[in-house]
C-alpha cells in the first residue's frame, strides 16, 4: 500500500478483497444509476483519498469487454460507515487510467 496524503489521491493499486467487498456492497446503487444489470462486477484497480471518511476510485470489469470507473464515499465509522456512489463513468477500457471523476 502506498502512502496517502490527506486530501490527495493515492497511486493506482491492484484491487484487494476489501475493495471487492466495497464493490459488492454498492453494485445495486451502480445498477440504479446506470439502469443496467451487471452479471460481472469485478474490481480490478483502485485509488483512495482520505477526507472526512474515504473516497475510493475503482476500476470495475462489468462485462466481457466493458469497464466502468466509479467513485465511492465511505463515511467514518463514528458517522455510520455507510458507502455511497458519488459518480459512475461507463465506456472505459481495461487500460484507461483511473482519474478523479
Mean pLDDT of the chain: 89
Which stretches of the chain are assigned E, i.e. beta strand?
13-14, 42-51, 53-63, 66-74, 83-92
Cα separation of 65 and 2, whole Å?
29
Q: How much is the pTM?
A: 0.88
pLDDT at position 12 over 70: yes
Cα separation of 47 and 101, whole Å?
12
Q: What are the structural domain ranges in the chain?
A: 13-92
Q: What's the CATH fold of domain 13-92?
A: Nuclear Transport Factor 2; Chain: A, (3.10.450)
pLDDT in tens, 58-94: 999 998 888 999 999 999 888 888 999 999 999 999 8
Residues 6+ apart with CB under 8 A from 41: 23, 24, 27, 30, 60, 61, 62
Amino acid at each position: 500500500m502506498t502512502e496517502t496524503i490527506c486530501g490527495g489521491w493515492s497511486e493506482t493499486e491492484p484491487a484487494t478483497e476489501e475493495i471487492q467487498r466495497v464493490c459488492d456492497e454498492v453494485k445495486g446503487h451502480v445498477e440504479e444509476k446506470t439502469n443496467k444489470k451487471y452479471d460481472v462486477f469485478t474490481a480490478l484497480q483502485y485509488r483512495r483519498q482520505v477526507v472526512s471518511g474515504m473516497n475510493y476510485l475503482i476500476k470495475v470489469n462489468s462485462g466481457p469487454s466493458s469497464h466502468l470507473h466509479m467513485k465511492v464515499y465511505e463515511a467514518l465509522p463514528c458517522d455510520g460507515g455507510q458507502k455511497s456512489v458519488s459518480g459512475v463513468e461507463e465506456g472505459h477500457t481495461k487500460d484507461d487510467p483511473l482519474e478523479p471523476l
